[in-house]
Amino acid sequence: MKTKNWKVETIAVQGAYEPENGDPRVVPLVQSTTYAYQSAQGIADLFDLKAAGHMYSRISNPTVAAFEEKMTLLEGGVGALACASGQAAITCALMNICHSGQHIVATQALYGGTFNLLAQTLPKFGITCTFVDQHAPEAEIAAAIQDNTRCLFAESLSNPGTEVLDFAKFAAIAQAAAIPLVVDNTFPTPYLCQPLQHGASIVVHSSSKYIDGHATSLGGVIIDGGRFDWTRGKFPEITAPDPSYHGLSYSESFKENAYIVKARVQLARDIGAVMAPMNAWLSNLGLETLHLRMARHCTNATELATWLAADKRVSWVKYPGLPTDSGHDLAQRYLKGTSGVLTFGVQGGAAAGEHFMNSLKLAKLVVHVADTRTSVLHPASMTHRQLNESQQRQAGVSPELIRVSVGLEHIDDIIADFDQALTAAATLA
């Protein structure tokens, strides 16, 4: 397929699926667990990874494959693995290169679920993590890397703190340590940022957010940039013979696809947290309007942030699209737009903020972000509830912080709703 020179918008609409004569115009939904073959040898060759083809939907499925290939093209990688959720994708991305006794360095400003994974769950499997302040000097962050550190993990635009990653700094630290930089690119999506172009080696997404974009389907995806050199000694699980495939070496057999092939044939095979075909179909449909939706999310969020920043009932606003924001310069450098999520505090603190959220009519209070409908959430009592207050502050969550996911409604209606809810909050307080 001639997608090599296509722009992101064209890939989003038409990438990865080319109907042949008389085929369905839309990517077909292949709702089948398995596939029929003519000979036993044909299936044996699939099991031995000697031939490519679908045999069982835990390993691969045509609808999921079309979604994976489109994500690969959008991020500029060499291959992808779609997972059951963003958390499944992050877990698989890390377990693919870290085992018991090894270590991860991650930024503090992370999604609450990722923080719990790194701080609580992976340590139970012997994988430990040191959290660093992403704004610390390069040498200070580099000092957290140990002999057994196997990757550096960060979010390109953090949830919910909207901190913009300094890619040059993090890529340099990872490169000096000969470990990959793994970046969660959920908030910008590949339309606003392509981490592989800024030195990341692996990209992960929660596709449950802007990629699906309509809050219909949980999903996650790992994209392999294909440029990290695994053969320098730290990653024998990729270079040395795998006893579960008759002693095959991923780096020898699959070259630049070694990492993503291993993730599929070992971890998807053994753990099975893969994306369902229906969710891949819906996520692929979502991708067809990604560029249009993201552009509007950005302009609506910028207008709402500007309006909130000028309002006396609001104590502070954080949105990297505002010229006064601490992340504005980094956003200018790395993001084509600052996405649709902003945070703010209401005068009167957490109690006034609660009155405000309860008074909204158009915007709904939901545990979600990044879909067509404007929504709000209170991280301290919801997504980051399992963290103590100091951990919450390190993740960029203050007690009064309200996270807004600005949707695609007309901006006048969004502002009118916020206006009446701020008035109601001031009256109740």
Q: Which residue is nearest to ligand PLP (CB)?
A: 86
Q: Judge if the upstream peptide bond of residue 123 is cis by omega within 30 degrees of 0.
A: no
Does position 340 bind ligand PLP by CB under 6 A? no
Read off the amino acid at residue 62: P
- Report the nearest approach of ligand PLP to the CB of residue 200 (Å): 14
Measured distance CA(341)–CA(145) in Å, rounded: 31
Assess 220 for contact with ligand PLP (CB under 6 A): yes
Does residue 166 interact with ligand PLP by CB under 6 A? Answer: no
Does 111 engage in binding with ligand PLP (CB under 6 A)?
yes
Cα 66 to Cα 69: distance, rounded to the nearest angstrom: 5
CB proximity list for 212: less than 8 A, separation 6 or greater: 219, 279, 282, 283, 286, 371
What whole-number distance in Å separates Cα of residue 158 and Cα of residue 176? 24
Q: Which of 128, 206, 266, 302 binds ligand PLP (CB under 6 A)?
A: 206
By CB under 6 A, name the one of 150, 209, 293, 297 that touches ligand PLP: 209
Q: Which one among 77, 79, 113, 161 touches ligand PLP, defined by CB under 6 A? A: 113
Nearer to ligand PLP, 85 or 102 (CB): 85
Q: Which is nearer to ligand PLP, 114 or 300 (CB)?
A: 114
User: DSSP assignment of 288-302, as one string?
Assistant: TTHHHHHHHHHHHHH
Q: Which range binds ligand PLP by CB under 6 A, 109-117, 125-133, 247-255, 352-360? A: 109-117
Q: Closest CB to ligand PLP among 90 and 177?
A: 90
Contact call for residue 405 and ligand PLP (CB under 6 A): no
Give residue 313's identity as a one-letter amino acid code.
R
Q: Which is nearer to ligand PLP, 86 or 190 (CB)?
A: 86
Q: Would you state the structure tokens that stand for residue 149, as one six-digit string?
A: 């550190």
Single out the residue of 127, 218, 282, 376 in contact with ligand PLP (rule: CB under 6 A).
218
Tokens matching residue 99: 């085992």
Q: Is 279 in the site for ligand PLP (CB under 6 A)?
A: no
Binding flag, residue 134, ligand PLP (CB under 6 A) = no
Q: Is residue 114 part of the contact set for ligand PLP (CB under 6 A)?
A: yes
Residues 159, 251, 339, 372: which binds ligand PLP (CB under 6 A)? 159
CB of 351 to ligand PLP, least distance (A): 27
Q: Which is nearer to ligand PLP, 155 or 346 (CB)?
A: 155
> Residue 409 and residue 429: Cα distance in Å, rounded?
29
Q: What is the CA radius of gyration of the chain?
A: 22
CA dihedral 179, 117, 192, 292 (to 10 degrees): 150
Q: Cβ contacts of residue 162 below 8 Å, gap of 6+?
A: 187, 318, 319, 320, 327, 338, 339, 341, 342, 343, 396
Report the 10 Å Cβ neighbour count for 273. 16
- Is 112 a binding residue for ligand PLP by CB under 6 A? The answer is no
Distance between CA atoms of 15 and 66, rounded to whole angstroms?
A: 9
Please work out the total of residues on this chain that contact ligand PLP, with binding judged by CB under 6 A: 15
* Interaction between residue 212 and ligand PLP (CB under 6 A): no
Cβ 211 vs Cβ 219: under 8 Å: yes
Question: Contact positions toward ligand PLP, by CB under 6 A?
Answer: 85-87, 111, 113-114, 155, 159, 184, 186, 206, 208-209, 218, 220
